Amino acid sequence: MIESKGHIFVPGNMNNKFLYPDFDFTGFEFKPGDDKWTNVKNNLIPWDIFAVKECESTMDSLTDIIEDGFSKDFTSLISMNQKKGRGQHKRIWYSDKGNLSASLHIPLVFNGKWSENYLPLIFGNLITEVLDEFGVKVQIKWPNDIFFKGRKLGGILVEKKKDFYIVGIGLNLFSSQRVDFLENIFEILPVSLYEEKVVIKSPLLFWTLVLEHVFNFFNKRLAKESPSDLINSLIQKMVWLNEEVFLDDPYSGIQKYILKGLSEEGGLLLYDGRVTKVVYSGRIRSVNH
């Protein structure tokens, strides 16, 4: 049994920046106090969670909380609604009520065999493990997208601050943004779990399950496992493996390759008919989908 040291906080009546979320979002009833942040529930793991009704970006809001001195290592923030979240290539990620919009503080814990370059892959793999507990089989689209039935379910973004990282995670648990047309061939149609008859009632309770997996990884698996274990696991979950893909990168434009997997450092292995090269940036898209 994990000792309960963490807490779940909601904005109190003295908080002039955030409002407290609805009860159906949290999965339990609570009463905000006459303070800036009210502790409403103990957490099963020794990390704090801040739950709010709305914010521009969970990554920016969590950074503000950290800088205000309310946060400690592995603290997270989850919001009912997110109006201007950040996605890959600076695209805006909108998220409505019922979806998961959360960010997590990660201290500078990497040394030796592990490096910060693995962070998006670590969290992508952990999300697949959590969804597997709900009977949902998802795939990874390198470097940071979660795919479900050929469409985009969510994504992961990692930003490095001065002495910590912020990991932002967005998942369409309940709804997906309507898309009337795709701007280019690298845009992917979105999907939500609810559209596919998978019901997750409380994003906050789902987030606590994600954090249990994160806690287990950083407190147990990080020391026992190697990056090759992570890479081997992810290769089995990659979308378009051994298929033709287009790669769009800032150096050579759009080129066609066969996707062969991941390198030990987490780069994408692409075969052009003559040689296999490793790339660490760019967008990919299946030639046939």
Angle, in degrees to the nearest 10, between helices 119-132 and 203-216: 120
Domains of the chain listed by start with CATH number: 6-235 (3.30.930.10), 244-286 (2.30.30)
pTM exceeds 0.85, yes or no: yes
Using a pLDDT cut of 90, give the percent of the chain over it. Answer: 72
Provide the b/e sequence for 202-214 (b: ≥16 CB within 10 Å): bbbebbbebbbbb
Instruction: Give yes or no for a contact between 251 and 221, defined as CB atoms under 8 angstroms apart.
Output: no
pLDDT tens digits, residue range 199-235? Answer: 998 999 999 999 999 999 999 999 999 999 999 999 9
Q: How many other C-beta atoms lie within 10 A of the C-beta of residue 163? A: 7
Looking at 191-260, list the stretches that DSSP marks H as alpha helix, in order from N- to C-terminal side. 203-216, 222-224, 227-235
C-alpha span between 207 and 126 (Å, rounded): 12
Number of neighbours of residue 278 by Cβ within 10 angstroms: 14
pLDDT for residue 181 is more than 60? no
pLDDT at 212: 95
Count Cα neighbours of 285 within 13 Å in the Cβ-side half-sphere: 14
- Distance, in Å, from the CA atom of 163 to the CA atom of 26, rounded to the nearest integer, reads 31
pLDDT of residue 141: 96
Res 85 pLDDT > 90: no
Give the type of residue at 239. V
Cβ atoms 245, 258 nearer than 8 A: yes
Q: What digits encode the pLDDT tens for the residues 160-180?
A: 998 899 999 999 999 987 665
113-137: per-residue pLDDT in tens? 899 889 999 999 999 999 999 999 9
